[in-house]
Amino acid sequence: MSQYKTLDSFSALVSTPFLGEINALCWQRELKGDFAEIVQKLNSAIDIRVIEINELLELELSEAGQIARETILFDFNLLETYGAAPVLNLINAYPAEEEDTFFSTDVYSFHVDSSPVATDTFLCTYYGSSSEILLNLEAVQKIMIPEIREALIKMYEIAENDYADFAAEYFFDLHYEAKPDAVPISLGLGNLWRLAVKHPGSEVQPSIHRAPRENGKPRLLLIC
């Protein structure tokens, strides 16, 4: 079973509805240009740095670097014209919890995005490790795991009848555990993805995804 569909244009990406099991859409591309040069010229030691368009325009780049920059600017223009608000991040590391945390809620663990209004998540990795998605059938909501349920109820002194409301109020319900035989799907480099978000009125399940471990190599990521 596949929960994602590959497409060949931006117009198809934004006009194709999520339907049935499909909750992730991909504009599949092979990008030209030297994105590594952009990352090197930006040279950030900050864990997560937002790169402004003016800063990107001021970089002195080779011809290959200029091609990469034009691609980023092109994507920004497409998304802004569509009505989205893209952000370019240079990421060395996200805030992370201890590996032995019984209920990890950082972005390195599988989760879904949520919103009080109808929206989607767009993302594209230009350089570095790419995000992963997981089939909904290959994941279990963490709050439904008996050991985690019992630990949360005890830790926060929750009445059994209040557990579901508590989990939703504090966003514990957004986090998932991969089943033992699960196979995460890499989103790849250069592909622009549109992922379903949990929101009122959504007719499909939200897309389960996670950020990759950087392992010392920065990521250049467009997201909105």
Q: Which domain holds residue 62?
A: 4-98+114-139+182-223
pLDDT for residue 175: 94
Domain assignment present for residue 161? The answer is no
pLDDT for residue 41: 94
Domain assignment present for residue 163? The answer is no
> pTM higher than 0.85, yes or no?
yes
pLDDT for residue 139: 95
Residues 6+ apart with CB under 8 A from 48: 89, 90, 91, 92, 93, 94
Region class of 43: left (phi > 0), else alpha (psi between -120 and 50), else beta: left
pLDDT for residue 106: 80
Domain assignment present for residue 155? The answer is no
pLDDT for residue 169: 87
Structural domains in the chain (count): 1
Domain assignment present for residue 145? The answer is no
pLDDT for residue 40 is more than 70? yes
Domain assignment present for residue 59? The answer is yes
Mean pLDDT (the chain) is 92
Domain assignment present for residue 170? The answer is no
Phi and psi angles of residue 14, each rounded to the nearest 5 degrees, phi first: -90, -15
SS3 state at 73: helix
Q: Decide if 73 contacts 53 (C-beta within 8 A).
A: yes
pLDDT tens per residue, range 81-130: 999 999 999 999 877 766 656 678 788 899 999 999 989 999 999 999 99
Domain assignment present for residue 65? The answer is yes
- pLDDT band per the 50, 70, 90 thresholds, residue 216: confident
Our CA dihedral for 124, 130, 115, 146, rounded to 10 degrees, sits at 170
Domain assignment present for residue 172? The answer is no
Q: Decide if 127 contacts 220 (C-beta within 8 A).
A: yes
